[in-house]
Amino acid sequence: MSRRVVLESGFHPSGRRTYWTAERWFFFDDAEEFFKKVASLEGKTLLFFATFEGGFPFLNLPAERGELPPFGVAVLKESVPFRGGSFGGRFLAASLGREQYLQRFERIKRYIESGDVYQVNFTVRFDFEFSGDALGLWERFVAAQPVPFGAYFETPLFTYLGGSMELFLRKEGNLLKSAPIKGTLPSYEDPGRFFSDEKELAENLMITDMVRNDLARVALPGTVRVENLFKVESYETVHQLVSVVSCQTEASFGEVLKATFPPASVTGAPKRRAVEIIRELEPHRRELYCGTVGLILPEGDFCAAVAIRSALLRGNLLSYYAGGGVVYDSQGEREWREVLLKAEAFLRALKGS
């Protein structure tokens, strides 16, 4: 049975939204088996994903499997455009309420104050009962907030609805780029505020430096550079602070992913300790949220997004996730409001059903 796939303009060299069908999915618990399968499919157009927890062994942490397999890849066949149908949804619960969030936020602050960690990305999951066509919801979601790395795909196990604006990795020939996002303001505020906010600038700089270090692990000597520091990108509900890091590399797809995953912007600093704290304090598994979704072209070039602003549909349970980075001078109420702000476009799309 073929499954529908839609990828927004940032994924494909054509710069347009593309429609595909996935004729067969392959799922893997082991990263090396996943990389071997990807290599065996050279010359084909592929869609792949890796869950957040799938990256734990790359940080020398124990593997942790959730409901989803950690890795998956499908061969794509280009399709004519298709449209989604009607849908409905009802809110069930959040993995953390405001008070629980603020209590755990304070525990993160204590870890930071004690020198365990400098930054932790902390998230919340929102669950809904869903009925109807998920593609219809995704179309409304990305219409409410157009983004370059939106993605919709169906598998036998789950459906992914992504509204990401964050480039994780783009490889074209030997050029490898990453564009981490750290820094968020509501769209009604002046984005110039970023440049007078030491907390936002420091947070972005810290993650940019982590990405430099990650890329350096696979870069040709002397080729890592920051192409753009503190660039503002504006969307329907938010302004984002973005930096762009690049290098030249001869590394394989698997070598690049092992060196850089999970993405620095959705873990913290240092990455391994931040992930340990995330596992301790978040009552939910992230699954594909904060993992990566990407397109591999027949010649081997690829583009992968950080799977933020995303939802998973399993049966009739729809889960949407949102979060943000916590640093030394973060304020709990402000961070909670940022979580709600990042959920706004999705909730607006679902309520409009």
Contact 299, 171 (CB under 8 A): no
**Block residue for tokens 């996730």:** 321
Which of 123, 30, 62 shows the shortest CA–CA distance to 276?
62
How far is residue 350's CA from residue 182's CA, in Å, rounded to a whole number?
Answer: 26
Burial of 353 (0-12, 13-18, 19+ CB in 10 A): middle
How far is residue 41's CA from residue 43's CA, in Å, rounded to a whole number?
Answer: 6
For helices 134-144 and 332-351, give the axis angle rounded to 10 degrees.
120
Q: Which of 8, 53, 166, 203 is catalytic?
A: 166
Contact 310, 120 (CB under 8 A): no
Buried/exposed 164-185: b ≥16 CB within 10 Å, e otherwise: bbbbbbbbeeeebbbbbbbbbb
Q: Does residue 166 have an active-site annotation? A: yes
Retrieve residue 183's tokens: 């820094």
Q: Does residue 171 have an active-site annotation? A: no
**Block residue for tokens 């696979």:** 218
Retrieve residue 121's tokens: 């990305």
For helices 253-260 and 31-40, give the axis angle rounded to 10 degrees.
150
CB neighbourhood size of 271 (10 A): 21
Q: Which of 182, 258, 271, 342 is catalytic?
A: 182
How far is residue 213's CA from residue 271's CA, in Å, rounded to a whole number?
Answer: 11
Query: Where are the alpha helices (H) located in 55-195, listed in sequence order?
Result: 98-113, 134-144
Retrieve residue 31's tokens: 């990263």
Residues designated as active site: 166, 182
